[in-house]
């Protein structure tokens, strides 16, 4: 920078020139080393931390991630990785339901089957998928249905995610509709069922045997769906679904079947546990209800695949782990997305959500992608501040400032806040 007066330094930082100068180069931020580790659990109150309170652990093909569970494997992505619009494969979260997760796959014997109510059952090798079909790419967010479940009050059982059960990648593969056309879906097909290599030790027909998810053949989300063999232009990590994964832009991650191996055309609605019972949401506005109503047994529910992911936005930095010296502008950065995308607007609040100003949006990578945003904030005084962010999508959905509640812990999309301490500088 050379010699800069204090005044010109502030102008330079505040102008956005800092962002231009460092854009794309210095993108990682890590919190200071923990002087005191987080507690080993939170509750019965809401988890107050951005991520879940789990320790960093090491897994094959992965950077250190936050261990939710270790058999089956559930790993949460830590906050700093969300500074960039695309989540590195090595940092992408992992969520399995059952414990028999492949450690090795033999592509000489593995085949993708299209079967059931089809004209021509297909058995496609990895090589045939790559070579015989047109490659298509889409940037799309994969988010767990239960992302942020640890915010629920009262708390509900399930994976106690903070905000890190999500990630955005550029997925490349074959259009699902093209594969379906090759097999020839016969009339009276109502749903397509998807199943991967991962399974559990439970008895056949029970929930701990295998996870199968189905979507209506007429669901418009299938028009955008891919069978992906590349993730951010690299092969998928084993824990994210090697060799191929179903990509359903706009829908929650539970439908994005990993290690995809069977696609079945069904002539009646899927009644397996993972469709008939699990991952159901109240059939109410925003999928919210009360503990009393849920306990009454009269609540009508639908599979979470009936909705798209509601609009969300996040503050990534500053993360509150360091005190901010007063007098310096603060570059607030984050991401936003909507399953009903694209994101239309992101608003920033310096006063705990009482007033809002529009933030600056980053590059548009497509309607299903993370959209980065930033805002230069000039704190007016030393002391505690609570900043907030909310996003709106092109369909007119605005993030609410009211919590959702349902017994599954799904669909959280409340306005996000970050408490910050600004210290005196003299």
Nearer to other proteins, 31 or 121 (CB): 31
Report 228-247 residues binding other proteins (CB under 8 A).
Answer: 238, 242-243
Q: 375 is written with which tokens?
A: 């805002």
Report 21-80 residues binding other proteins (CB under 8 A).
Answer: 33-35, 37, 40-44, 47, 52, 54-61, 64, 67-73
Examine residue 106 and tell whether it contacts other proteins (CB under 8 A): yes
Per CB under 8 A, the list member of 82, 92, 273, 373 interacting with other proteins is 273
Examine residue 206 and tell whether it contacts other proteins (CB under 8 A): yes
Examine residue 403 and tell whether it contacts other proteins (CB under 8 A): no
Shortest Å distance, C-beta 409 to other proteins: 11
Nearer to other proteins, 19 or 72 (CB): 72
Nearer to other proteins, 110 or 356 (CB): 110
Q: How many CA atoms lie within 13 A of 174 on its CB side?
A: 22
Examine residue 202 and tell whether it contacts other proteins (CB under 8 A): yes
Examine residue 83 and tell whether it contacts other proteins (CB under 8 A): no
Of 77, 61, 230, 263, the closest CA to residue 139 belongs to 230
Answer yes or no: are the C-beta atoms of 418 and 318 closer than 8 Å.
yes
Examine residue 159 and tell whether it contacts other proteins (CB under 8 A): yes
Q: How many residues bind other proteins (CB under 8 A)?
A: 55
Nearer to other proteins, 114 or 159 (CB): 159
Considering Cα of 398, then 404, then 406, then 409, what sign does the dihedral take? Answer: positive
Burial of 339-372, coded b for 16+ CB within 10 Å and e otherwise, reads: bbbbbbbbbbbbeebeebeebebbeebebbbbbb
Inter-CA distances, 276 with 207, 210, 304, 410, Å: 11, 14, 11, 16
Residue with tokens 């299903």: 368
DSSP-assigned letters across all residues of 11-57: HHHHTTHHHHHHTTTS----PPPPSSPPPS---SS---SSS-SPPEE
Shortest Å distance, C-beta 322 to other proteins: 15
Examine residue 128 and tell whether it contacts other proteins (CB under 8 A): no
Q: Which stretch binds other proteins (CB under 8 A): 16-24, 103-111, 347-355, 414-422?
A: 103-111
End-to-end CA distance of the chain: 24
Shortest Å distance, C-beta 160 to other proteins: 6
Q: Which residues, at least 6 apart from 43, have a Cβ–Cβ distance to it below 8 Å?
A: 150, 155
Of 277, 167, 180, the closest CA to residue 227 belongs to 180
Sites of contact with other proteins (CB under 8 A): 33-35, 37, 40-44, 47, 52, 54-61, 64, 67-73, 98-99, 101, 103-109, 150, 155, 157, 159-160, 200-203, 206-209, 238, 242-243, 273, 277
């Amino acid at each position: 920078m050379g010699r800069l007066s204090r005044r010109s330094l502030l102008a330079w930082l505040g102008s956005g020139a800092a962002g231009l100068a460092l854009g794309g180069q210095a993108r990682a931020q890590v919190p200071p080393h923990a002087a005191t580790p987080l507690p080993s659990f939170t509750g019965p109150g809401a988890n107050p931390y951005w991520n879940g309170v789990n320790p960093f652990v090491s897994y094959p093909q992965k950077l250190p991630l936050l261990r939710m569970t270790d058999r089956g494997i559930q790993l949460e992505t830590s906050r700093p990785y969300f500074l960039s619009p695309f989540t590195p494969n090595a940092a992408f979260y992992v969520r399995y339901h059952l414990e028999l997760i492949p450690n090795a796959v033999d592509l000489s014997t593995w085949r993708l089957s299209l079967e059931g109510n089809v004209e021509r059952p297909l058995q496609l090798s990895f090589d045939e998928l790559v070579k015989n079909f047109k490659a298509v790419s889409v940037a799309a967010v994969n988010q767990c249905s239960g992302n942020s479940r640890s915010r629920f009050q009262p708390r509900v059982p399930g994976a106690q995610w903070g905000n890190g059960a999500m990630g955005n990648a550029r997925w490349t593969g074959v259009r699902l509709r093209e594969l379906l056309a090759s097999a020839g879906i016969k009339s009276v097909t109502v749903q397509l069922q998807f199943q991967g290599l991962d399974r559990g030790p439970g008895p056949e027909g029970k929930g701990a045997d295998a996870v199968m998810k189905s979507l209506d053949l007429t669901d418009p989300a299938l028009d955008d769906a891919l069978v992906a063999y590349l993730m951010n232009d690299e092969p998928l990590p084993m824990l994210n679904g090697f060799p191929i994964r179903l990509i359903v832009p706009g829908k929650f991650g539970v439908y994005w079947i990993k290690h995809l191996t069977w696609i079945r055309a069904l002539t009646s609605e899927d009644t397996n546990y993972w469709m008939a019972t699990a991952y159901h949401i109240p059939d109410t506005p925003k999928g919210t209800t009360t503990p009393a109503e849920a306990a009454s047994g009269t609540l009508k529910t639908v599979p979470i695949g009936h909705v798209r992911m509601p609009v969300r936005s996040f503050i990534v930095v500053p993360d509150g782990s360091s005190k901010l010296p007063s007098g310096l502008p603060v570059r607030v950065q984050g991401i936003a997305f909507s399953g009903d995308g694209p994101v239309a607007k992101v608003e920033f609040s310096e006063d705990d959500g009482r007033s809002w100003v529009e933030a600056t949006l980053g590059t548009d990578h497509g309607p299903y992608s993370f959209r980065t945003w930033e805002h230069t904030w000039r704190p007016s005084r030393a002391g505690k501040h609570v900043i907030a962010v909310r996003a709106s999508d092109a369909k007119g959905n605005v993030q609410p400032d009211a919590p959702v509640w349902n017994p599954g812990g799904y669909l959280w999309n409340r306005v996000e806040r970050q408490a910050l301490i600004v210290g005196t500088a003299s």
